[in-house]
Chain A
Amino acid sequence: AQSVSQHNHHVILSEAASLELGCNYSYGGTVNLFWYVQYPGQHLQLLLKYFSGDPLVKGIKGFEAEFIKSKFSFNLRKPSVQWSDTAEYFCAVNRLTGGGNKLTFGTGTQLKVEL
């Protein structure tokens, strides 16, 4: 079965530190990749997505992610985090072959940014 792994469950950073959250998936076919963010008390919002083309994708609020097909990875990065980035981050994969439009999510990474 397809799975998505997020290796860091809890991350604590100081403001201005750099961020990298890992995401690996197990499916070998064609996939769409997403990062969603859930700010405290708010609903899931799309941060960025990869469908095809340039493997380095840029999203909102200065986030970016790199798709490395050979490593089945889609890591999220931000050069300098802000206190307002405190949230839970979910990586999600949509398998395009026979999987319809079903998203498989990782377990999430809780990010806390301290002042």
Chain B
Amino acid sequence: ETGVTQSPTHLIKTRGQQVTLRCSSQSGHNTVSWYQQALGQGPQFIFQYYREEENGRGNFPPRFSGLQFPNYSSELNVNALELDDSALYLCASSLALAKETQYFGPGTRLLVL
């Protein structure tokens, strides 16, 4: 069973640029959630995708957007990067909505200069 994978592992961008992060869900999982973990904080929910549709969004601005593909892999896009976007971005997959455990990938460390 393949776990959740994310790419790239590290990324450095400058303010105002755009970034795309990628996630492959665990085999058989159709739900992907994205979280932002700032230094010294717990992960914060960005949004969730279920069968290619957004299903719930946290308190993040519209410049954070995402996609889920037919194979259930997912992308997180962030436009107009700000310094405060520097964080670890985590992807988690689960089998379905609600009452299911989310399994996390290793994350992408984004640094915005």
Residues of A at the B interface (CB closer than 8 Å) are: 4, 6, 32, 34, 36, 42-46, 49, 51, 90, 92, 94, 96, 99-108
Contact = CB atoms under 8 A, between A and B. Distances in A.
A46 B103 contact: yes
Given A36-B104, A51-B99, A90-B43, A100 B90 contact: no
A44 B45 contact: no
B45 A104 contact: yes
Contacts of B42: 4, 6, 90, 92, 105-108
B43 A105 contact: yes
B44 A102 contact: no
A103 B41 contact: no
Pick from A32, A43, A106 the residue with the most CB of B within 10 Å: A43
Interface residues of B, number: 28
Interface of B: 31, 33, 35, 40-45, 48, 55-56, 58, 90, 92, 94, 96-107
Contacts of B101: 34, 46, 49
A103 B46 CA distance: 10
B31 A101 contact: yes
18 contacts: A6-B42, A42-B106, A43-B105, A94-B98, A94-B99, A100-B97, A101-B31, A101-B48, A101-B98, A101-B102, A102-B45, A102-B58, A103-B35, A104-B45, A106-B42, A107-B41, A108-B40, A108-B42
Contact of A103 (B43, B97, B99, B106): B43
Q: Which of A36, A46, A100, A108 has the most CB of B within 10 A?
A: A100
A92 B99 CA distance: 13
A103 B40 contact: no
A96 B56 contact: no
Nearest to A104: B45
A101 B94 CA distance: 9
A108 B39 CA distance: 11
Q: Which 5 A-B pairs have the closest CB atoms?
A: A105-B42, A100-B56, A44-B104, A43-B106, A102-B45
B21 to A, nearest CB: 15
B13 to A, nearest CB: 22
